Amino acid sequence: MRALLKQLNQAYFWDTDPSLLKDEKSKRLIVERVFNFGNLKEIKLVKSYYGIDQVSDILINLNYIDPKTVNFISLLLNIPKNKFKCFTKKQLTNKHWNY
């Protein structure tokens, strides 16, 4: 485990062995889990470690982020919700109860 991962809650990586993760190779997973489950301290840590541009790019291109988290990220990083892949993908999908 590397420096960043040691400062994060290991419970975020319940489905993998955290000791096998690398800060750079696993950055997509790390950013996704911290923004979905982490606290503000951890979010700031990840933003400062990877930089706002890399974090924004990762988050914008994720296939799924829950709606509350998209709202939070949109406000925190000043990114319009329609820029998120998960938001636009959700808008294009018809639900059986929307007819």
Average pLDDT, the chain: 87
Residues sharing a CB contact under 8 Å with residue 86, sequence separation 6 or more, in sequence order: 62, 63, 64, 65, 70
Largest CA distance in the chain: 50
pLDDT, tens digit (0-9, with 9 covering 90-100), for 35-68? 999 999 999 999 999 999 999 999 999 988 888 9
Q: Annotate 32-51 with b (16+ C-beta within 10 A) or e (fewer).
A: bbbbbebeeebbebbbebbe
Instruction: Say whether pTM exceeds 0.75.
Output: yes
